[in-house]
Structures are given as C-alpha cells and as structure tokens.
Structure 1
Amino acid sequence: MSNRAAIIHTPKAPLVIEEVEKYTPGPQELLIKNTSIAFNPIEWKVARLAILPIEYPAILGFSFGGTVEAIGSDVTNFHVGERVATSGSGPGNKYGAYQLYALSKAESTIKLPDNVSMDAASSVMINFKTVAAILTATAGLDSPKLEQVPAKGKKVLIYGGTSSVGSLAIQYATQAGYTVISTTSPKHEAFVSTLGAAKLIDHTQTEDALREALIAEGPYQLVVDTISLGRTVYITADVLKAQGGGTLYTLQPPFGPETLPEGVTRHFAPYTSILAEPEHKSLLEYLANDYLPKALAEDKLKPIPIEKVNGGLAGVDAALTKGFGGLSGVKMVLNPQG
C-alpha cells in the first residue's frame, strides 16, 4: 500500500491529502502502520497561528500508534506486527503523525500490552514525555514508581489538572511520592479527583480568591503551569513571589512583552527533545520499557477521556479546527486509515 499524508504547504493554510514516500527505516528506526493519531494543542497552534518556525511543506503530528510494518537493521527489541505507540522522534516529515505510514526511533517507542488500547496509548505519549522532561530531567524530581513509595513531604503545584499534560503530571508526581496540589473546574472535578492530587482548587473562582487559595497551600518545591496563558502565568508567578521567588515552568514561551515579579523567572524549552540527550538515556529507557507500558496495563496511568474523530486523513484538518476553537478535558484521536 502506498503512503498518503495530510500536508500543510504554507503557514496557516488548510491541510491537503497527498501521496508521499513510504519510508525505509534507518538502522535504529521502525516503520509503523499508523492507526491512531492523538492531537495535541501545540499542533493546532502551529497549523492555525504558525507560532513556531517550521519548514514547509510539513507533515505535523507528534503522537501516534499502530503496528510495526518494518524494522531497521540494528533493531533487536521490536518485531513486525507488534502493537506500538510513539512520539516526537525528531524533526522531519518522515516522523510526522498525520500520515498512513510513519517512522519512529526505537528508543521513543513502547510496546503495548494486550489489554491497552491503541488510542489510550497514543493519547499519552508526547505529553507523558513532556512531563518527564520537565519534572525529572529538568527540575530534578524523582521518577514515578509502580509500587507505592513513601511520601516525601514536599509539595508540587500542577496548574491545569484538567489538561492532558496536567493530568499526567499529577499522576507522575504523586507516584514519585510528592504531595500534589492542582486546579480544575467543577465540570471536570470528578475525573481529576481520581488522579491522586492531595487537593484540587477551583480555577473558575475569582483571580484573587484563586491566587490566595494556591498561596495558602504552599510553599511548593516546584510550580508547573500546564496552561501557560497570560492569566495563568501571572497567577502562578504570584504564587512563587509569595514564597520568595523561583522558577515557573511553562509549556510555551511568552509571545509578547512580559513582566514577572522580581525573583520569578519563566522557563520554557523544547521538552520533547530533552529525553533524547545522552544524560537522560537511562530515564528514557526506564519510562519506555518498564514504567509506561506497565502503568497503562495496570490502570495506574489514566489518560483524559478520548473523543474519536472520524474521516480518516481527511478528518485531520477539521480536528485541528475544532481544537483551535476550544477544547477542554478530552483528547481527540483519529484513525488515519479510515
């Protein structure tokens, strides 16, 4: 079968379906028949706002899952026909999720236990990798364990527990022994309350009340703003100011002038690439080969609710439009095969 992809040719242009190369995997790569694309907010921001500099034409998409179609010459731990999920293997259209067949680096790919759905796995891949890169590889927190660990007596603030990154960060930090404070809305509290946070604060209350409630739960060893918009950045920065300053970890850079309180600095990095650095090889191997597959199989890592999108590749552009229009508390997933 030939390969087809949903391609964006110029900034902010609609995606079009075209024939593309069916790739040959390199020595440490897999060719995957893609049956589950998971959409992420950064993708519709790139597609509709062109917020990041990329080369065009481009095949977007970070997270996907499917079956192994072919393996590279040096790959020994994967076999043709195995069910896998992957994310963020690197720059280049051959790794983009919005196509029928895509390449993945073996080190960024996990095997799926029989009881784990493809959509559940693809929906967490890039965001779990982001969480690990922020909390452990960058901020130095311990990684999660499948067995219960003693409480460390240290608090972590995860602002935005309803988001995919936020919900995964709650579980990651909790399972590493940290006491997590997070935010949600009454609409999504029932789900977020199952993730392990010690306390959830209603982010729909007035800004002053929200700020006071967050400060009252501190001080925090780490503050992560998984929403990272102007309003939330200023609220979480004030939380850090109240405890003497510190680093505010965000999921995107400021896109205009920004004045934070004295002693507070904003940190953003291309998190998806951090785990590929040599010093984090052991962390990536532990998460990909041990923790993540088992946590999904044992229901110790819960993805946010999944919303199926129809239409195959032709449905990708509509999904980006829907996400750009506003989406909360769900992860859109699509089978590009139709």
Structure 2
Amino acid sequence: MSFPTSTKAALLQEPFAKHTISHRSLSALKPGEIGIKITATAVNPVDWKIRDHNTFLPSYPAVLGSDAAGTITAVGPNVSGFKEGDRVFFQGIIGTYDSSTFQQYCKMPAELVSKTPDNITDQQAAGIGLATMAVVTAFYHSTGHGLIPPWEREGEKAGQGKAIVILGGASSVGQYAIQLARLSGFQRIITNASLTNHEFLHSLGAHVVLDRSQSDAASFTSALGGVPLMFVFDAISAKSTQVLGVQIIQESKSEGSELVTVYVVRPEAIDADAIALGQSKEPKVDIKQILGIGSAPDLRYLSEPMAKALTEWTASGLFVPNRPLVVPGGLGAVEEALALNKQGVSGQKVVFCPWE
C-alpha cells in the first residue's frame, strides 16, 4: 500500500457551486503525517454553511468535509504508533484540501488521529471527530469554560456537585456534550430533545431530558433540583437557543454562570438580542462562542490527548458514537447528503462512503 499522487474528489469549482466529481493532485507525505483511504465521511452543518457564505476556502477548486474514518495506506517519516492497515478516525482540516474529507484519500498529522476499535464501524467512527472537538473546546479551553479535561488528573471531578444544561441534546454535538459532561463528573446533566430521543439520551448520561417543544427557562430551573448551575452549553447556536440559554441562567439566578455556544458560519454569529438580554438584569450573563478546530496551534494541547482518549473510550464503550444515517451513492451522494443535513435530522449523523 502507498499514498497516491492524486485522488478522486467532490470539488467545488467556484464559489456557491454544486459539486462535481473529478481528480485532484495530492502532495507527498511530510514528516509526522499519515496517508488515509477514506471509507466514510460525515456531513456537518459547517460544510454547507461554508459554501453558502463562501468562507474558509482559500482557493478553488475547493474540497469540503472535515470528519471521516478510513484505513492508513502509508506512514510518513517520524511517525510512531501507527502502521499501514490501521483503521482510524479524525477531524479533517478545513481549508487544507489535502486534509479535507469529501474525497477518497487524504493525509493527516498522525497526532490528531484516533484508532478505530473493532466494536464500531467506520460509518459510526466518521462522525466523532469534529463534533467532539467542538465540545472539548467549549468545556476545557479558555475560550470556553476552561475545565480540567477528563484525561487529566482530577478531570473526572471537574463537574462534581454542579449541574450543566445542554441545549440540543439529540444533535451530534449535544450527544457528545452529554457524554463529556458525564466523564467530567457533573452531578446533574439536563438537556432537551424530542420525545423519541429521550431514552437514548438518558443512556448517554443525561439525568433529565425535557421535551424540546415545551422546555422554557422555568422548566430548566425546576430541573436543576437545587444543584448549582455551572454553565449552559448551547449545541445549536440559533437565536432562540442563545436567548433561552441566557434566560435559564437569569431565571435560576446562577451568579457567575455563562452561556457557551458553538461557532456558526453566519454574519451575526452571536445574537444581538441574546447579548442585550444578558446585560439587561442581574445576574449578568456573558456569552462565549468557541471554534473547535483541533489542528489550530492553540488547541493542539487538547486535540492531541483527546485523540488518544477517544481511542480508549470508544473501545471500552465509555463514549458512544452518533447513530449514522448513511446516504448511498459514494462521492456522487454529496449533494443529497448536504441537503439532508441542511434539512435537519434528529438523533443521527449523515454519512456517505466515498468508495461506493
């Protein structure tokens, strides 16, 4: 096995265009890199938002996709712990087309790659990297809440005696947030979702799951059960969820709490009404927005140990991947997969397999 000099890929030939299937060249492996045959790639909202807003793409033709699983076909110099034939999963690198995932081959820094255990499929593994890194940034980085991560000493006690509210528990990000909150030792994990997803979210570690259609600030406050609220994590980052997050903190009178939300690609990423509401009365609520790109230099101290931890957690069953919704058709399914994700799916991760 070796790393090819070109690969079949789904390409954006120009801004806002539909994908076309063609070949593109690949550069040789550098020290510390591995070559990967991509067997499954997940679709995330960031993919269609990047195209809709023409951002994060330095040149055209462009390759989208930053969430995948596959098999190592080549190992570059100065790489240890990996060999040809290993199954792996990873968060790709937005804007670095040789490390993007809507194609049949890519290359990645080995330190950002997790090994896929035998107890999960590549379709399951493909949806772990990006969404988990978003939560890791929100929970453990200084731009988020800055907790000690659970792979470090005392990290499993970071949430001891405290509650966390996770808005959008059935989303991909929400599911991983529930599990990382459990691994961080939170006494009370409260989320909301449609009724069909309640049992599943309880199995991931949520203590209270409210009906999404009926959950208001008062309902969340009641669900705290007297346990102090540390912070609210908004896995959706819509106007309505940002406002609700602020309302929950103010309704529960949680001094020192804050709303942490994921970055969304749109002109007004943090809603102006949510900001104004947060400063309108006591307790004042700060809104922090995070961008979880694991390859960023200031996040490598989290993303590298996270990659190792995910290998162990998924193998032991401590960390459960999203349930995949596989769209057939190989690279030709990319537009259908993007449309399905944009339309919205409940409790599942849209995935397609580039080699079909």
TM-score over 0.5 for the alignment?
yes
Residue in 2 aligned with 1:50? 53
Among candidates 290, 298, 305, match of residue 316 of structure 2: 298
In structure 2, relative to structure 1, the CA distance for the partners of 1:17 and 1:135 (3 Å cut) is same
Asked if residue 277 in structure 1 is aligned to residue 298 in structure 2, the reply is yes
Q: Give the alignment partner of residue 307 of structure 2, picking from 277, 284, 288.
A: 288
Structure 1 SS opposite 2:189: strand
Deviation at 1:276, TM superposition (A): 4.1
Distance 2:296 2:149 in 1: 13
Could you say which residue in structure 2 is the equivalent of 1:127?
131
Q: Does 1:323 align with 2:341?
A: yes
CA displacement, residues 69-125 of structure 1 (integer Å, 9 cap, x when unaligned) = 112211122111111111134631111100111111111101122233212211111
Aligned residues: 331
1:244 positional shift: 4.1
Question: Which of the residues 84, 88, 97 maps onto 1:84?
Answer: 88
Alignment correspondent of 2:232: 223
1:258 and 2:277 matched? no
After TM superposition, the structure 1 stretch with the greater mean CA deviation from structure 2, 163-172 or 250-259, is 250-259
CA distance in structure 2 between the aligned counterparts of 1:171 and 1:53, rounded to whole angstroms: 29
- Where in structure 1 are there 5+ consecutive unaligned residues? none
Residue 213 of structure 1 aligns with which residue? 219
The CA distance in 1 between the partners of 2:262 and 2:155, in whole Å, is 29
In structure 2, how many angstroms separate the alpha carbons of the residues matched to 1:45 and 1:328? 19
Matched, 1:184 2:159: no
CA RMSD of aligned residues (A): 2.4
Cα separation, 2, equivalents of 1:30 and 1:21: 16
TM-score (norm 1): 0.90
- In the TM superposition, what whole-angstrom CA distance separates every residue of 1:173-223 from its partner, at most 9, and x where no partner exists? 112111211111112112112111121111111xxx522111234442121
Seq. identity, %: 28
Aligned 1:58-207 pairs, distance under 5 A? 58-89=62-93, 91-138=95-142, 139-144=145-150, 152-178=160-186, 179-205=188-214
Q: 1:113 to 1:53 in 2, by over 3 A?
A: closer
Whole-angstrom CA distance in 1 between matches of 2:122 and 2:328: 16
In structure 1, what is the Cα distance between the partners aligned to 2:295 and 2:355? Answer: 31
Runs of 4+ in 1 over 6 A off after TM superposition: none
